[in-house]
Amino acid sequence: MLLDCANPNVTLLALHPEQTSSLDWPRLVALAGDQGLLPLLTQKLSHSGAGVIPPDAQQTLKSLFREQTIFDLRMLAELYRILDRLAGQGIAVMVTKGPVLAQRCYGFSFARQYTDLDFVLRDADVLRATETLISLGYDAKVPPSAIRAGRPAGEYAFTQLATKLLVELHTEKTFRYYPQPLSIEKLLRRKTIVRLGEQEVPALSVEDELLLISIHGAKHFWERLLWIADVAALITHNSIDWDRAAAIARAVDAQRMFRLALLLAKSVAGATLPASIQIDAESDPGAIRMARQIAERIPHVDDQPMSLVSRAMFRVNMRGGGFPGLTYFLRHALSPTEEDWLANSENERGGVLGAIERPFRLARKYGRAQK
């Protein structure tokens, strides 16, 4: 059922009581939440006949969907407020993922589970943007003093003190999982407008969004069906300039990640690819092998966490393997972020010492996760 939820070609789950009598509904609802598919499950079951969904499960789905809708309305109001304040400061930004991706993929901003608001902007503007968010009542994980000192950051995360809403700022320096540096100026030149509710918001071009969610999924080992469903829905419900999309992927050496995302959208979520794009994706044996491994692992992500060696090999292979993959892995393993210098805030280790300590911190972190 969750695979049908992830399939953009399945509009409704037309079920009958005899088909669902053996379903473990509490387990289904819990899995849908873990995989980020609760709104899609609720939406695709919305026209089920009487007796198909047990009353308890139906009430749970309605309650969770109502919570998601209320959360989305709060996030939209905050999105408009932040955009208005940043525009007043002359800071050019684009919105990515979150409600914009939900609108593009599923037609409604509340039709997708998300937890934060993501903005893309120039690194040169991140200090002013941070100060602006602080003035709006947010606590900055990376304080202005650290930005002025040039401390490296993997992300600029903010928590609103009153409501605990989450915001992230992304710049050319925080898109670390792109194999080659990303040009924010090019993203700004290609930006588009997406209507959310009664307002229009600046967003990445659909091709830039497609590559971003492809790399984001690879970054997180494609452990949630939602990320695959997003790729499948984005290419199904939007007009993609495939030549531009391929060129954007080539420009940052992310062809393997792009092909992997498309293969997963096709094999797991049932999306249809243009013939030439499918031929190109299937010309990469490494991407085919990784897509198969990911599909086999999805049902077991909770009870079978990836080992440190498996994580390392995935990083190497998602870059294409060989020497490029090894250098890509080492760059991430040895490049300190705010997690490293915040963990060593008393002695403020950085540079060579920070690079040496980072692999040990990661090993401790993910070693505990395995246990």
Domain identity same for 227 and 351: no
Q: Is the pLDDT of residue 54 over 90?
A: no
Domain identity same for 298 and 334: no
Q: Is the pLDDT of residue 215 over 80?
A: yes
Higher per-residue pLDDT: 333 or 8: 8
Q: What is the pLDDT of residue 12?
A: 86
Domain identity same for 38 and 172: yes
Q: What is the pLDDT of residue 335?
A: 82
Three-state secondary structure along the chain? CHHHHHCCCCCCCCCCHHHHCCCCHHHHHHHHHHCCCHHHHHHHCCCCCCCCCCHHHHHHHHHHHHHHHHHHHHHHHHHHHHHHHHHHCCCCEEEECHHHHHHHHHCCHHHCCCCEEEEEECHHHHHHHHHHHHHCCEEECCCHHHHHCCCCCCCEEEEECCCCCEEEEECCCCCCCCCCCCCHHHHHHHCEEEEECCEEEEECCHHHHHHHHHHHHHHCCCCCHHHHHHHHHHHHHCCCCHHHHHHHHHHCCCHHHHHHHHHHHHHCCCCCCCHHHHHHHCCCHHHHHHHHHHHHHHHHCCCCCCCHHHHHHHHHHHCCCHHHHHHHHHHHHHCCCHHHHHHCCCCCCCHHHHHHHHHHHHHHHHHHHHC
Q: What is the pLDDT of residue 356?
A: 53
Where does a domain end: 262, 277, 304? 304
Range(s) of the domain holding residue 342:
307-371
Q: What is the pLDDT of residue 346?
A: 46
Q: Count the domains in the chain.
A: 2
Q: What is the pLDDT of residue 158?
A: 98
Where does a domain end: 304, 324, 346? 304
Domain identity same for 237 and 329: no
Domain identity same for 48 and 9: yes
Q: Is the pLDDT of residue 360 over 90?
A: no
Where does a domain end: 278, 304, 330? 304
Domain identity same for 110 and 14: yes
Q: What is the pLDDT of residue 51?
A: 76
Q: Is the pLDDT of residue 371 over 60?
A: no
CATH number where 196 lies:
3.30.460.40
Q: What predicted TM-score, i.e. pTM, was given to this entire model? A: 0.91
Domain identity same for 319 and 349: yes
Domain identity same for 47 and 180: yes
Domain identity same for 99 and 143: yes
- Mean of all residue pLDDT scores within the chain: 91
Percent share of the chain, pLDDT over 70: 91
A 10 A CB-CB count for 276 gives 11
Domain identity same for 200 and 327: no
Domain identity same for 222 and 278: yes
Higher per-residue pLDDT: 302 or 357: 302
Domain identity same for 58 and 26: yes
Average pLDDT estimate for 61-76:
94
Average pLDDT estimate for 94-109:
96
Average pLDDT estimate for 243-257:
97
- Rounded to whole angstroms, how far apart are CA atoms 101 and 108? 9
